[in-house]
Chains A and B, each alone.
Chain A
Amino acid sequence: MHTPVAALAWELWHKHRTRLISVIGLILAFALVYPKLCAQAGFDPHGSNALDEIVKKFAHPGVSDLSALRVLQILYIMFLACGPALAMILTLLYIMWVFTFTEFDPSTKDPLRFPARLFTLPISTPFLFWWLWLGGMAAVAMLYASWVYFVHQPYLDTFEVYQNCFAWMTFMALTQGIVWSLAAWPITRMLLLMAVLFGLLFSPAQRDIIESPFVLPSLFVLGLVLARVGLEKMRHGQWQPWIWKWPFASMSARAELRGPKEFASPAQAQLWFEWRRSARGLCFIAGGLALIPVALHLLVRLTFGLGPISYDTLFGFAGYLVAIPIFLHFCVAASPARTDASFLMLRPLTNGQMMMAMLKATAITTIFLGWSCFCRWPPCHCWEISARW
């Protein structure tokens, strides 16, 4: 470690070495073991109709029972068919996160905090940017090449879109751009990252967009510019978070003038606490998550004159809108222990009262979430019908 380049490379390697070794191990395992598993199953991944072959091999017409063995067989088929492609996607997503150079901040619970200590080292912003950007691009290209050249994947029409190194590099550039330029706005950053991820995962259904000669290069350049400007602005604290005012702030201020509002019972106060703690924010996040991908999709279609939405895409949107509330509730439930747990434990409430307050808040949120997601559906559908007509 005699130069900043080497020191930063060492930091990156040392911080992620276990997982990076796992990625290498995964590629090796797929390169060495996967062909043997295919051979054992009598499945030729290079065949033109490999998937049909393997499905026929495991399908037993007339048998409708779902025994444990059968479930395992189906899972095995799915693994042989999609395993390499899914592993490739996950490892590429992981490497993108590595090259955003972010880490979890336990004090703010921000999973994508860029370490401020790097800005106190005597290295220039262009150096830091190009190191991370070129390193990220090289890592994506190398990882992609490793998967393509060492692992023989069965041909699947669905995954064909992912067999495009430039698309992955564009996704890398966009990820760095969003993470760095929106460091001061974590919720907006999360929404945009979700929208971009949504675009990537649903890209097989939007092949016409991905294959357009303008879309990927434009997004690549956009990501590059955002990342460069974002890192510079983040270093000098030029983009500060907006202090967003609650739309009914004036009404609450009037309420405060009248004196503090009294709750009718401890249970009601607890319900307010649960709602205020996370439920209210969840509704806004769900609204944003539902709005941004749909709006972006429509915008891209209109901009590039790509015609009406296909039924597949509409179906994809419907699935996405249904998944949002479930996903958000899962995230909240799985999030790290809240710092206010000890504060709650000191309240003179029974476990039942606390649980009831949580359930009520969840019920209210679910209704709002469902409403905020599905109100996007009719305009989207109407637009599609009118476009077809």
Chain B
Amino acid sequence: MNSSNAPHAVEVTCLSRKFGSKLALNQLSLQVRRGRVFGLVGANGAGKTTLIKHLLGRLKAESGSVRVFGFDPVAEPVGVLSRIGYLSENRDLPGWMRVDELLRYTAAFYPNWDPAYAEELRRQFNLDSGAKIKTLSRGENAKAGLLIALAYRPEMLLLDEPSSGLDPVVRRDILEAIIRTVADEGRTVLFSSHLLEEVERVADDLAMMFNGQVVLAGQVDEVKENHRRLVFRFDSPQSSAPKVPGVLSITGGGQEWTAICNGKRDEAVAAAARAGGRVVEEGPPSLDEIFVAWAGAKSK
């Protein structure tokens, strides 16, 4: 298949990876459609960075396959990396370079580098071109990393924890605006984040990772629609969490318990009714609540 015609920007099939005895990725499969903003969420150690390293060819698949725009990132790193703008979690930039030197240096590797756009971004990010990278604050460092990832208009922007170190204003006004701009131009964005409200605001699709596996994937709206948040009131106080089949998690105390269920709403309501409970409140859960519910369900 011609890489430019590959329907998906990213296609991962049954990917597994071990570090010593720890299974970092376990038969993980994932697809990212072109032109979409894809959010990757998961707790620390879920395998997000390991997955991103596989997409960059920084790790070779032990089993399974990884394709980025139809290319194998290990066999054809140049083909993949020339299409990706990457911002690493730990902002791995050479501290001894000045900002303008960093821009000139990075430009040499990308034929599509747009100096006017780079300058525009530098001004937008309020970065002093004469400042050394090591003198920049954590937030400015992230901006410098983002600048060099964007300035050649890559087909896919790959951001590993981009919000890390950025204050809320920068996060909202710059990062999210850039992600939307890139997506509006028909390019793909894949980013990992702990901040679920951010994913909810920005992403079109998401995948939740837990212990090296994708436990939930789909469009953000669909994911939210498929889950329900139900508040039950029981006739008598419950000493422990009531057993309600079909719910992912149930929390609370006494007579009032809150459950998150995934598409089995009627089954859960019926089961609660048998135990003497009735629904007093119902609505769509936040992504945060869905994530906590899935993480709790998977860790049991």
Contact = CB atoms under 8 A, between A and B. Distances in A.
To the question of whether A and B form a pair in one complex, the answer is yes
Interface of A: 1-4, 6-7, 10-11, 14-15, 107, 115-117, 119-125, 235-238, 240, 242-243
B59 A121 contact: no
Interface string B67-93: 000000010011011100010101011
Nearest to A11: B105
Nearest to B62: A238
Interface in B98-122: 101, 104-110
Contacts, number: 74
Contact of A1 (B21, B58, B78, B107): B107
B81 A122 contact: yes
A1 B20 CA distance: 42
Looking at chain B, what size class is its interface with the partner chain? Answer: 20 to 34
A124 B53 CA distance: 16
A119 B58 contact: yes
Contact of B57 (A6, A11, A235): A235
Contacts of B105: 1, 7, 10-11
B97 interface: yes
Nearest to A234: B58
Nearest to B101: A14
B209 to A, nearest CB: 19
B155 to A, nearest CB: 12
A388 B163 CA distance: 70
Contact of A7 (B58, B59, B96, B108): B108
B28 to A, nearest CB: 16
Nearest to B92: A117
Interface string B203-244: 000000000000000000000000000000000000000000
B97 A14 contact: yes
Q: In this complex, which of B80, B82, B97, B105 has the most chain A Cβ atoms within 10 angstroms of its Cβ?
A: B105
A342 B108 CA distance: 44
A389 to B, nearest CB: 49
A116 B91 CA distance: 11
B77 A124 contact: yes
A6 B86 CA distance: 22
B104 A1 contact: yes
B88 A120 contact: yes
B59 A123 contact: no
Given A236-B57, A237-B58, A122 B74 contact: no
Contacts of B88: 116-117, 120
Nearest to A120: B86
B130 interface: no
Given A15-B94, A122-B78, A243-B21, A237 B108 contact: no
Contacts of A3: 108
11 contacts: A11-B94, A14-B101, A15-B96, A107-B90, A116-B58, A121-B81, A123-B81, A123-B109, A235-B77, A236-B59, A236-B60
The 7 A-B residue pairs with the shortest CB-CB distance in the complex, in nearest-first order: A7-B108, A122-B82, A122-B81, A236-B60, A237-B59, A243-B20, A117-B92
Contacts of A15: 94, 96
A115 B94 CA distance: 9
A110 B19 CA distance: 20
B56 interface: yes
Contacts of A124: 77-78
A10 B96 CA distance: 13
A120 B58 contact: yes
A119 B78 CA distance: 10
Given A14-B101, A122-B78, A125-B77, A116 B92 contact: yes
B110 A122 contact: yes
B90 to A, nearest CB: 8
Contacts of B77: 119, 122-125, 235
Contacts of B86: 120
Contacts of A236: 57-60, 74
Nearest to B97: A14
Q: In this complex, which of A117, A125, A243 has the most chain B Cβ atoms within 10 angstroms of its Cβ?
A: A117
Contacts of A10: 105
Nearest to B22: A243
Contacts of B21: 243
Contacts of B107: 1
A10 B93 CA distance: 16
Given A1-B108, A2-B108, A7-B108, A117 B93 contact: yes
Contact of A120 (B59, B81, B108): B81
Nearest to A10: B105
A180 to B, nearest CB: 15
Contacts of A11: 94, 105
